[in-house]
Amino acid sequence: MNTVTLEIDGKAVKAEEGMTVLQAAKNAGISIPTLCYHEELEPYGACRFCMVEVTKGRRTKLVASCCYPVEDALVVRTDSERINKIRKVIIELVLPLAPVGTLVGLAKKYGVKESRFPLDKGEEPSYCILCGRCVRYCAEIKKLNAIGFVGRGVDRTVALVPGIGDECVACRECYKPSICEGGKFVPYAEEFAFPPHRSR
């Protein structure tokens, strides 16, 4: 493994080739907030909360640090006005869906008192932000593929694959607090049902 040196928030950081910027930052004690990322799972790049600015030569771009590979001489900023704006709007978008646990803390951190994008009248929080950690845990760690996404776009939801039910109910590990952020996202856990279908 080759070692590369990059700069994160002004600090020279050594990392191994093949690592992601998020891992390198973590090893150097720099924290980047995440939602869909989980150490045991493959990076997914869907919540966009871990976005950072990377500069290579003269070009600066916004990337998801959970997926972006480290390279020599890369300059990374994990905190800027642009990045904070993105994180703030993302929190505003998902907080009404799951006004619990980590999200509440992150909202405070990014100065969101109240989301500007509230739920429709009569709409209930789904307690699911579709981070896919349960789906990926079931597929990657348990190798069961018992749950998956159904629907597209705003109709997307998590559902049990019919016919795998028994095995699935026996396990329930996707509801571990460490998988479903804080475990509080899911008041449904008791009856083991997944978030209801939502439409535009």
Partner 1 sequence: MNKLKSASDLEELRKRILSGRDPKKPCITVCSGTGCQATGCEKVSAAFQEELKNQKSSDKVDIRRTGCHGFCEKGPVVIIYPGEICYLQVRPEDTSDIVTQTMMEGEIVDRLLYVDPTTGERIVHESEIPFYKNQKRLLLGNNRKIDPKSIDDYIALNGYSALAKTLSSLTPEQVLEEVKKSNLRGRGGAGFPAGRKWETTRNAPGDQKYVIVNCDEGDPGAYMDRSLMEGNPHMVLEGLIIGAYAIGAHEGFIYVRQEYPLAVTNTASAIRQCEEYGLLGENILGSGFDFKIKIHRGAGAFVSGESSALMSAIEGRVGEPRPKYVHISVKGVWDKPSNLNNVETWATVPFIITNGSDWFNSMGTKGSKGTKIFSLVGKVNNTGLVEVPMGMTLREIITKIGGGIPNGRKFKAVQTGGPSGGCIPEKFLDLPVDFDELAKVGSMMGSGGMIVMDEDTCMVDTAKYFTGFLADESCGKCIPCREGLRQMYKILTAVTAGKATQDDIKRLEDLSEVVRDASLCALGQTSPNPVLSTLRYFRDEYDAHIKGSCPAKVCKDLVTYYIDPEKCQACGLCLKNCPVGAISGKKEVVHVIDPEKCIKCDTCFEVCPDKFNAVAKISGEAVPPAVPQGTKVKRKR
Q: How far is the CB of 174 from partner 1 (least distance, A)?
A: 18
Q: Does 130 bind partner 1 (CB under 8 A)?
A: yes
Binding partner 1 by CB under 8 A: which of 94, 128, 134, 180?
94
Residue labelled with tokens 């993302």: 90
110-124 burial, b for 16+ CB within 10 Å, e for fewer? bebeebeeeeeeeee
Task: Report whether 37 contacts 66 (CB < 8 A).
Answer: yes
Q: How far is the CB of 88 from partner 1 (least distance, A)?
A: 9
Q: Tell me, residue by residue from 137 to 156, as one string, x for binding to partner 1 by CB under 8 A and - for no binding.
A: ------------x-xxxxxx
Q: Does 46 bind partner 1 (CB under 8 A)?
A: yes
Q: How far is the CB of 60 from partner 1 (least distance, A)?
A: 12
| H helical segments located in the chain | 21-27, 81-94, 101-109, 133-136, 165-171
Stretch that binds partner 1, among 9-17, 60-68, 160-168, 189-197 (CB under 8 A): 60-68
Residue labelled with tokens 């905190």: 79
What are the DSSP calls for 164-180, one per residue?
-HHHHHHH-GGGSTTTT
Q: Tell me, residue by residue from 100 to 119, as one string, x for binding to partner 1 by CB under 8 A and - for no binding.
A: ----------------xx--
**Helices then strands, each counted (H, E), the chain:** 5, 7
Instruction: Tell me which residues touch partner 1 (CB under 8 A).
Output: 35, 43, 45-49, 51, 62-64, 67-69, 82, 85-86, 89-90, 93-94, 97, 116-117, 120, 129-130, 132, 149, 151-156, 200
